[in-house]
Amino acid sequence: MQVVVLRDAAELAEAAAAMFREHLAARPDLAMAVPAGRTPRRMYARLRDRQAREPVAYGAMRVFSVDELCPPAPADGYFWRQVWREFLAWAGVPPERCRPFDVGASDLAAMCDEYEEAIKRAGGLDLVMLGLGPNAHIASNEPGSDFDSRTRPVDLTPETVGYILTDEVLQGAVSDRAVTLGIGTILEAREVVVLVSGRAKRVPLARVLDGPVEPAVPASALRLHPRCTLLVDAEAHP
């Protein structure tokens, strides 16, 4: 696990955007699971700004979700709505190359099984980009998630729901259910990048870096990955 400490949130966003573009340049048909949330929001803004100055072609990449809230989320999903508005709307990735979670499906477990199959048909994920939750979750894999877990429906803790509700961009009720890439699914990606910003992430990050590798700390599983990079701003670094 490589830890890169950046000066502040702005420098982290620049580094994440640069890494994103470097992966795309190396593989235009990049299969990537892209994140939602506050820290990725700054990265998407940097990507949009750089696109205006130094355009690159995003159209061949394959875009997957990291996780999504279940209804009463809107039909296009809380998290996917952000990804669409802040990235896909200007990046020009064709809809047929985008794979959001269908949280309106009558059988969520079957939908998640098909999602795993879609990842396999894409040849696996080249890159998964994630945030770090305040209880050290990754995607929506809460503490106690098995390290070999696959894409599936999950229950969210009250702490996680409360944290989601602090994002001023969200409107309306937030479900305590979600669908998520499993930890095992994430560990099978060829590369994982985690964006960690803010003082509130200092304690969970310390648990990831220095504590035991165990399901009680879901993100500690990333220490088992051969190519995992943490981009961390100074406020979050223990």
d(CA 235, CA 26): 31
Catalytic residue among 68, 137, 141, 233: 137
Strand partners, 48: none
Alpha helices in 27-131 (DSSP H): 38-53, 78-83, 89-91, 108-121
Could you identify the residue written with the tokens 């620049």?
14
Long-range contacts of 166-174 (CB under 8 A, 24+ apart): 167/37, 167/38, 169/41, 169/82, 170/78, 172/72, 172/74, 173/72, 174/69, 174/73, 174/78
> Is 67 designated active site?
yes
205's tokens: 């990050």
What DSSP element (H or E) covers 231? strand 228-233
| Active-site residue, 135 included | yes
Catalytic residue list contains 141:
no
Q: Name the DSSP class of 53.
A: H
Q: Would residue 146 show up in a list of annotated catalytic residues for this protein?
A: no
Q: One of 68, 86, 126, 142 is an active-site residue; which one?
A: 142
Among residues 68, 86, 126, 135, which one is catalytic? 135
Residue 24 sits at φ, ψ, to 5 deg, of: -65, -40
Angle at 205 between CA 200 and CA 209, to 5 degrees: 165
Q: Which of 67, 68, 86, 233 is catalytic?
A: 67
Q: 67: which strand partners?
A: 180
Which residues are designated catalytic? Answer: 67, 135, 137, 142
